[in-house]
Amino acid sequence: MADTPEWTPQIVHDNALVRMLNEVGPSSKVNVVLTNPPFGGEEENSVAARFDKGYQARETAILFVKAVIDKLKPNGRCSIVLPNRFLFDDRSRKVREDLLVKCNLHTIVRLPQGVFAPYTQIPVNLLFFERSGPTKEVWYYQIDPPEGRKGYAKTRPIRCEEFAECAAWWGGKDRADRAENHHAWRVPAADIAAENYNLDLTHPASADDLAHRPPSELLADLIATEQEILSLLTSLQHDLQLSDGHD
């Protein structure tokens, strides 16, 4: 058997945001960015001040999106995990405008509540965009928990097979075969711009579905959700007790 070439990963312990800001010039541009930036935290004022006026929010996720847009080569593409708040927060409004005006924000995958539980219950989304010209329309795809599942936990994480329907719907490399269904819908970029670039949109049919469900069914779902939350909190409390016992 031929010898396998050695490959040494280049791991750098650094502030990735500051590193991107320090790397300038055409040679620093990249074709692909795949990232799950930290969110819920804030950068120092000195870091935020390095961004242009209108982009100087201290929220880390907002600054990362701006830095990634600037980092991409023409036709470069990005897949990024972002908290739900980014989709509508006033602080991220300018960056959202860039996503639609400077980029083709072609897909937003809305993930089920609590996929990062027990570490955080913050809802998150997967945003896919390319530096290939302005957005014409944004496709949304809502991934729901499996039947009977109300949430996730460290011992019950989201599974790869829960993405299977979305992957089949994706429509190939050029995304040409997509169709609207009970999970997927599309919104013209002009409509989003008219609503102050708010990206926090739900399936148009969801409001009708909710309106036609009987109160007893809605109440049962609410009780089940509360029970699931209580179970997650109990699990977290147990983990903390075990951790304290090993200190």
3-state DSSP assignment of residue 214: coil
pLDDT of residue 2: 54
Place of tokens 């996720």: 61
Instruction: Please report, in tens digits, the pLDDT of each residue of the chain (247 residues total).
Output: 456 667 777 787 888 898 899 988 889 999 999 999 988 788 999 999 999 988 999 899 999 999 999 999 999 999 999 999 999 999 999 999 999 999 999 999 999 988 888 888 888 999 999 999 999 999 999 999 888 877 788 888 999 999 999 999 999 888 999 999 999 999 999 999 999 999 999 998 875 555 555 777 667 667 766 766 776 677 677 767 766 666 5
Backbone angles phi, psi at 168, to 5 degrees: -70, -35
Structure tokens at 50: 């390095």
Residue range 16-202, CATH number: 3.40.50.150
pTM above 0.75, yes or no: yes
Do residues 183 and 166 make contact, with C-beta atoms less than 8 angstroms apart? Answer: yes
Q: How many CB atoms lie within 10 A of CB 56?
A: 18
Distance CA 60, CA 58 (A): 6
Q: Residue by residue, what is the 3-state secondary structure of 47-102?
A: HHCCCCCCCCCCEHHHHHHHHHHHHEEEEEEEEEEEEHHHHCCHHHHHHHHHHHHC
pLDDT of residue 217: 64
Domain range annotation of the chain: 16-202, 213-247
